[in-house]
Amino acid sequence: MRFIQEFRSSELAKGLISRIHQKSKTQARFMEFCGGHTVTIFRYGIRQVLPKTLEMLSGPGCPVCVTANVDLDKAIALAQIPDVIITTFGDMLKVPGSHSSLQEVNASGADIRMVYSTMDALNLAEENPTKSVVFIGIGFETTAPIIAASILQAEERRIRNYYILSMHKLCPPVIRAILESGEVKLHGLICPGHVSAIIGSHPWEFIARDYGISCVISGFEPIDVLQCVDMLVAQIESGQSKVEIAYRRGVHPEGNQQALKLMKQVFEPCPAQWRGIGEVPDSSLKLKKEYQHFDAELAFDIDPGPTYEPVGCICGDILRGVKTPLDCSLFGKDCTPQYPIGPCMVSSEGSCSAYYLYGEGFEG
């Protein structure tokens, strides 16, 4: 199947749904990690067509949502330093920090540019030699290689006014942290396709080996997700726990070796704060010593001020899978996509946004 419409075929979907209903006898709870999967599940009503034996939870798979306020506040403070141009992907602009957002400080006179790639930011730095251009390095393993490549390009082109504020997140360590917490009993994980296209399937093997939880890597179309659920059910019913790939057109067991080489050359692991989860060891990336002259945190005196979470927001609980947006008193009332209070309503891949836009249990 090579075309998108084939992965949205109603006939194929009906066949998979029927097969899942026939197979699924054991009560099981699955969590999709990636926000892209969350959107597909809600947009196509996948939860509603699954048997009552299966429960689906959304996890912390949205890089915008999991970015803690302590990091957002750094980016917002950095934007207010004279002669600094902030460059970022679009989703970051509206995310509220403790006191403001990038969008608000931009309206107050800060120079913040939305870009489509790190190369846009790098070219902007070259065109504005008297300014400091900072790229907000947000995302999972998927975006880290292109940011690493931009650092190498800046070094090669001798661009010394280009900086990275690294807020990257690494996925396997946070999944381990969630499983270690024991807050949510899981039987299966829908592992992220885009991340796995970079890191491969091997880094997920600890989930089955150490926790006895079934894992399948999924693509992002409805047929992909249904095939993934079907494979998870087959593992559950046969008493197996292993890592399988349902997204072979995008993922190989060994991952993308060139991308991994770029990451390893430029970055090294470090701890990170995750919204609602806290500090997770080795779950972020910082620039290696030889590239630290591109590190915005080291280059600028950043004073973000005190950090606090918005009153009543339960994004942290939602990201851990212990609550849903419907449990939030703000959802759909004080907090909407037009006037978001928490990041899960801001991001196009946030759980609150998916609930709101696709109306599960809520008249939006």
Same domain, 161 and 177: no
* Other beta carbons within 10 Å of 265: 15
Q: What is the per-residue pLDDT for 309?
A: 87
Asked whether the beta carbons of 34 and 194 are under 8 A apart, the reply is yes
Q: Which of 245, 270, 290 is the last residue of a domain?
A: 245
> How large is the greatest C-alpha to C-alpha distance in the chain, in angstroms?
66
Same domain, 110 and 148: yes
Distances (CA, A) of 249 to 80, 193, 197, 205, 222: 44, 10, 9, 20, 15
- CATH code at position 28: 3.40.50.11750
Asked whether the beta carbons of 240 and 207 are under 8 A apart, the reply is no
Query: Would the pTM count as exceeding 0.75?
Result: yes
Q: What is the per-residue pLDDT for 336?
A: 94
Same domain, 175 and 158: no
Strand segments (E) across 79-213 = 84-88, 111-114, 132-139, 162-168, 188-191
- CATH code at position 282: 3.40.50.11740
Same domain, 28 and 177: yes
Secondary structure letter of residue 83 according to DSSP: T
Asked whether the beta carbons of 59 and 146 are under 8 A apart, the reply is no
Distances (CA, A) of 107 to 80, 93, 154, 175: 11, 11, 29, 37
Domain that holds residue 200: 4-59+171-245
Secondary structure letter of residue 60 according to DSSP: E
> Tokens 């600890």 map to which residue?
206
Average pLDDT along the chain, 364 residues, taken 10 residues at a time: 74 95 98 94 95 96 93 97 94 90 95 95 97 96 96 97 97 96 96 97 98 97 97 97 96 98 98 96 98 97 92 95 95 93 92 88 47
Same domain, 161 and 277: yes
Same domain, 163 and 75: yes
Q: Is the dihedral of CA 63, 67, 73, 77 positive or negative?
A: negative
Same domain, 198 and 237: yes
Q: How many domains does the chain have?
A: 3
List the beta bridge partners of residue 114.
88
Q: Is 260 exposed, middle or buried (0-12, 13-18, 19+ CB in 10 A)?
A: middle
Q: Which of 223, 245, 267 is the last residue of a domain?
A: 245
